[in-house]
Structure 1
Amino acid sequence: MTRDRLALLLAGLAPLAVAAVLLPLRGSLENTHVALIMVAVVVAVAALGNRVAGYLAAGFAGLWFDFFFTQPYQRLTIDVRSDAETLVLLLIVGVAVTELAVWGRRQAAAASRDAGYLAGIQAAATVGAVGGSSHDLIRQVSDQLVTTLELRGCRFQRGVAGLGNPPRLQRDGSVTWHRAAWDADREGLPAEEETELLVESGGRLHGRYLLTATPHRPLSPERRRVAVTLADQVGAALG
């Protein structure tokens, strides 16, 4: 079971399970305390899963709080105004902590990707610095390009550029095809043809990488610029 599927399952079951555990304490436990415990359940689910799981957990937490802990009991109505306010606050806080959890996961994923890009550049630079063969460096950068751009394939050609007028990944990270800009942010690299990434140094062309894209895989400008930097490592070594 994937992490997101597990979170969706817990979103439906965890609030009910916690409500069942707290039910015997209904006469001695303040409803505000029950609501805080329910919020903790929402936080746990949101941290484990995604936005949908967090919202579902908040909704079910509010449902069971209303059903079991507000008068009249075992009915989806609320007679006491303070209980209604507590329910509204429970839902608001549940949504808020879900958004914070989603933001935190995105930040962690971005940091992990950045670390991976840096590791790839450092690995390529190390091969060149220690005097590794150009063949090894070309192959290693090819592997890094596949990972960075989520390609289906990548190959290197020496001494040619523009053959067949293919799409091109430019030095600034933009993509052009038939002299027009290509929206790589939304569409990724063109999948109909291989995209060329030139390998140059000091104004001299050494060859090109031909990138076989995965269809409709959006690529951020940062990832495309990392690919250019990797190609520059090969260009520096060949130069």
Structure 2
Amino acid sequence: MLAALSSAVWFNFFLTRPYQRFTISDADDITTALLLLTVGVTVSQLAAHAGTLKLITVTDAQHLPRVHDTAYLVQAGASSDTVVGQMRHSSSRCSGCAVAASSTGHCSAGHRVWSRTVR
């Protein structure tokens, strides 16, 4: 957002009359500066959202093998104790770094892991 504001301000300062002043005398220049600001803010928000979606995708991809393993156990007719045991075992480790999870639901590296308690 700072880049968007900066682009609008420096457009005003360098490219509008009167030059090298923070005043705009033409309505078209006001429109251009506002559009620069609007587009810049929109792009920065989209980029931030894309970063969040990437994190969610990576986290979900790490959990997918656990879901498949559990589904295979259920399909194979494993007992409920076996399935719950598998879930407890797989949820107490971080798939990203293979470190045991703490009671906060995060490993020592800060990765979020599945809940340790399965009921």
TM range (shorter): 0.5 to 0.7
Matched residue, 2:58: 112
Secondary structure in 2 matching 1:147:
coil
- Following the alignment from structure 2 to structure 1, what is the Cα–Cα distance between the partners of residues 67 and 57? 15
- Following the alignment from structure 2 to structure 1, what is the Cα–Cα distance between the partners of residues 72 and 105? 29
Deviations for 1:146-176, whole angstroms, at most 9, x for unmatched residues? 327xxx845xxxxxxxxxxxxxxxxxxxxxx
Matched residue, 2:22: 76
Secondary structure in 1 matching 2:93:
helix
Where in structure 2 are the equivalents of 1:197-216 lying within 5 Å? 212-213=103-104
Contact 2:8 2:36 in 1 (8 A): yes
How much has 1:81 moved relative to structure 2? 1.2
Normalising by structure 2, what TM-score?
0.62
Matched residue, 1:85: 31
Relative to structure 1, the CA distance from residue 113 to residue 153 in structure 2 (aligned partners, 3 Å threshold; closer, same or farther) is closer
Q: Percent identity?
A: 30
Deviations for 1:120-158, whole angstroms, at most 9, x for unmatched residues? 34467779x8xxxx9xx97x935x52327xxx845xxxx
- Following the alignment from structure 1 to structure 2, what is the Cα–Cα distance between the partners of residues 146 and 70? 59
Unmatched runs of 5 consecutive residues or more in structure 2 = 77-81
Contact 1:66 1:76 in 2 (8 A): yes
Matched residue, 2:92: 145
- Following the alignment from structure 2 to structure 1, what is the Cα–Cα distance between the partners of residues 92 and 5? 43
Contact 2:94 2:100 in 1 (8 A): no
Tell me whether 1:102 sits opposite 2:48 in the alignment.
yes
Matched residue, 1:14: none
User: Which amino acid in structure 1 is aligned with residue 47 of structure 2?
Assistant: A
How much has 1:90 moved relative to structure 2? 1.0
Unmatched runs of 5 consecutive residues or more in structure 1 = 1-54, 155-210, 233-239
How much has 1:64 moved relative to structure 2? 1.2
Matched residue, 2:79: none
Superposed CA RMSD: 3.6
- Following the alignment from structure 1 to structure 2, what is the Cα–Cα distance between the partners of residues 57 and 119? 41
Contact 1:68 1:74 in 2 (8 A): yes
Secondary structure in 2 matching 1:77:
coil
Contact 1:153 1:213 in 2 (8 A): no
Normalising by structure 1, what TM-score?
0.34
Secondary structure in 1 matching 2:32:
helix
Relative to structure 1, the CA distance from residue 141 to residue 124 in structure 2 (aligned partners, 3 Å threshold; closer, same or farther) is farther
Relative to structure 1, the CA distance from residue 96 to residue 89 in structure 2 (aligned partners, 3 Å threshold; closer, same or farther) is same
